[in-house]
């Protein structure tokens, strides 16, 4: 490089260094893990986020059995449905309700024949372990000492819908509704209760059993069954594999795993 006293004016060294830094990080990252989607990929399953624990075990068990790995994409069911509608390269959709799956089937985005209920959710009434007030039924929520109750937002969360149905069927909706705090999802609804910001929460059994609180099951006849359905995505290049995994989910082994995490089997309609 020419070194004359009156050399070209200094560029901005720090800016160049920063750019160099980012490029280094980028390339280091690029070298360590595969960046671009490969052709022979594992199955990609979009599953509702409240199924994380259950399906991580489900995926591990499936891989042990068949040697085929499964990758999961956990998010809210509504978001997952939107993604599939817009062409996300997902093979199987495991929702927290049935409506989203049926909707996609009607639009041809999911194979209608593959739609089936794989589990039934149960609703619980949850309070902190150190709660002074015993809250075991929805009627207990009528107590004026119960100031706030959280549920997932019924606008888009199936368990929120069930919670609202339960409160309405039990005839306590008018009194309870002003006390309601809506969580973005069931996890958030539980967090409100765990942190003491609300006195009680209506959340899925699957959340309650891994938590540190007290809970009781809400009778199933108070709400429409929280059926959870799955469906194979129509554009998937791995439909057979997807169907195989779906079969595993609905098999005795799969249902047992689901049962561990607070999901009732699909067929059963009897009360607890």
**At a CB cut-off of 8 Å and minimum separation 6, what does 195 contact?**
none
**Separation of alpha carbons 78 and 82, rounded Å:** 6
Contact set with other proteins (CB under 8 A):
2, 4-15, 17-19, 21-23, 25-26, 28-30, 32-33, 35-37, 44, 46, 49-50, 52-53, 56, 71-75, 79, 82-83, 85-90, 187, 207, 210-211
Nearest approach, Cβ of residue 81 and other proteins (Å) = 11
In this structure, what are the phi and psi dihedrals at residue 160, rounded to the nearest 5 degrees? -70, -40
Residue closer to other proteins (CB basis): 75 or 222? 75
Residue closer to other proteins (CB basis): 171 or 196? 196
Nearest approach, Cβ of residue 10 and other proteins (Å) = 7
Residue closer to other proteins (CB basis): 39 or 270? 39
Helix boundaries (H) for the chain: 13-32, 52-66, 77-85, 99-106, 158-169, 173-176, 186-194, 205-208, 239-250, 252-260
Nearest approach, Cβ of residue 70 and other proteins (Å) = 11
Residue closer to other proteins (CB basis): 195 or 270? 195
Residue closer to other proteins (CB basis): 155 or 267? 155
Residue closer to other proteins (CB basis): 37 or 144? 37
- Neighbour tally for 20: CB within 10 Å: 10
Q: Which of 78, 73, 38, 80 is nearest to 52 (CA)?
A: 73
**Separation of alpha carbons 94 and 55, rounded Å:** 10
Nearest approach, Cβ of residue 75 and other proteins (Å) = 5
Nearest approach, Cβ of residue 264 and other proteins (Å) = 20
Q: Are strands 214-217 and 123-127 parallel, antiparallel or unpaired?
A: antiparallel
Output Rg (C-alpha) for the chain, integer angstroms: 24
Nearest approach, Cβ of residue 187 and other proteins (Å) = 5
């Amino acid at each position: 490089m020419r070194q004359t006293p009156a050399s070209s004016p200094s560029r901005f060294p720090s800016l160049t260094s920063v750019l160099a830094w980012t490029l280094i990080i980028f390339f280091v990252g690029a070298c360590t893990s595969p960046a671009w989607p490969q052709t022979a990929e594992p199955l990609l399953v979009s599953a509702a986020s409240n199924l994380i624990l259950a399906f991580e075990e489900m995926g591990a068990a499936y891989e042990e059995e068949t040697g085929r790995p499964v990758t999961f994409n956990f998010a809210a069911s509504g978001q997952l449905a939107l993604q599939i509608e817009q062409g996300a390269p997902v093979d199987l959709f495991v929702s927290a309700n049935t409506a989203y799956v049926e909707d996609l089937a009607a639009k041809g985005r999911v194979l209608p024949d593959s739609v089936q209920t794989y589990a039934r959710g149960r609703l619980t009434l949850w309070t902190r372990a150190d709660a002074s007030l015993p809250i075991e039924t929805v009627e207990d929520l009528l107590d004026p000492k119960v100031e706030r109750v959280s549920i997932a937002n019924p606008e888009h969360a199936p368990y929120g819908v069930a919670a609202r149905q339960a409160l309405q069927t039990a005839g306590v909706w008018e009194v309870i509704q002003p006390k309601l705090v809506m969580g973005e999802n069931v996890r958030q609804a539980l967090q409100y209760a765990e942190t003491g910001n609300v006195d009680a929460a209506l959340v899925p059994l699957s959340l309650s059993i891994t938590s540190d609180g007290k809970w009781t099951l809400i009778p199933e006849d108070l709400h429409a069954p929280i059926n959870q359905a799955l469906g194979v995505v129509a554009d998937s290049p791995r439909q057979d594999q997807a169907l195989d995994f779906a079969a595993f989910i609905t098999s005795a082994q799969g249902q047992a795993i689901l049962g561990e995490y607070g999901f009732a089997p699909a067929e059963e309609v009897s009360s607890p």
